[in-house]
Amino acid sequence: MNKEIQEKLRKMSHANPVDEAVMTILKSQSQCCVRARVRLEEMKKTVGKNVLFISGSPRKGNTEHVISRLYESVVGNKEILLLRSKNVKRCIGCLACHHQPVCTIKDDDVPEIMESVLAADVLVIGTPNYFENVSGLTKDFIDRLHPFYKPKTIQGKKLIIFMVGGGKSHGSLEMLKSSMQGFVKHYGLELVGAFAFQGLNPKDVECDPQNEQTVSDMVEMINGL
């Protein structure tokens, strides 16, 4: 870590004290991660909320279409994260982060992802319905945020979730709420909205006019937070 970044981080933590857990995470990560933290802290000084849009689909299909439409339409500071384009290794269940809020896995993109989550006021997570559950990518993302669990580092952040499934949307909505309830509960998130879309083939959601209304409803909800 060069002196310029060290000085920015020192001033940042002096002006706005950060949770001990967050500082531990920062000190444990690479120079690239610290640069991301400095950038995101600068973003937080601007007026308005920060919204992080996360797609948990492994393909460029319906889930990513909805995430992209939301990202384009919501006003304010925003960032989009496509998990399919990131290297997210699976949690190995070592429980090291139960004693100190730092993940033992270092050689993937999760530190950068954690920085984005920390900087966000609102998380918008989309996932396809895989056998009445979230996708593997989405589950890996949730599991790797485990260092935030014990110290409640992201407690109180607002969360909007949606699922795309081949069956009826009301069925996917129930599966979504069921599969995400542990994430909401144990991380202390505020679930403000849950939505579902029916779509199996890559263009299904895009070609259904009713889905545009649902997207509009979601945009209105996010802009109103």
Q: What is the mean pLDDT of each run of 10 residues along the chain (225 residues)?
A: 48 46 52 54 66 93 91 92 94 87 87 91 93 91 91 91 83 86 92 88 79 89 91
Q: Is residue 52 part of a domain?
A: yes
CATH number at residue 147: 3.40.50.360
Which DSSP string do the residues of 32-88 spell out, in sequence order?
A: HHHHHHHHHHHHHTSSS-EEEEEE--SSSSHHHHHHHHHHHH--SEEEEEEGGGS--
Q: In whole angstroms, give the CA distance from residue 194 to residue 189.
A: 13
Residue whose entry in the numeric block shows the structure tokens 């001990």: 20
Q: Is residue 82 part of a domain?
A: yes
Range of the domain at 141: 48-223
Contacts for 7 with CB less than 8 Å, ≥ 6 apart: none
Q: Which two tokens stand for residue 77?
A: 């500071």
The pLDDT score that the predictor gives to residue 87 is 93
| 133 DSSP assignment | S
Query: pTM for this structure?
Result: 0.80
Q: Helices 31-44 and 110-119: crossing angle, nearest 10°?
A: 10
Residue whose entry in the numeric block shows the structure tokens 């139960």: 98
Q: Is residue 156 part of a domain?
A: yes
Q: Is residue 37 part of a domain?
A: no
Q: In whole angstroms, give the CA distance from residue 205 to residue 210.
A: 9
Q: In whole angstroms, give the CA distance from residue 123 to residue 165.
A: 21
Contacts for 60 with CB less than 8 Å, ≥ 6 apart: 84, 202
Number of domains in the chain: 1
CA distances from 64 to 10, 14, 18, 24 (A): 38, 39, 33, 33
User: Is-contact 110 88, C-beta < 8 A?
Assistant: yes
Q: Is residue 131 part of a domain?
A: yes
Q: Is residue 39 part of a domain?
A: no
The DSSP H or E segment spanning 170 is helix 169-187
Q: Is residue 22 part of a domain?
A: no
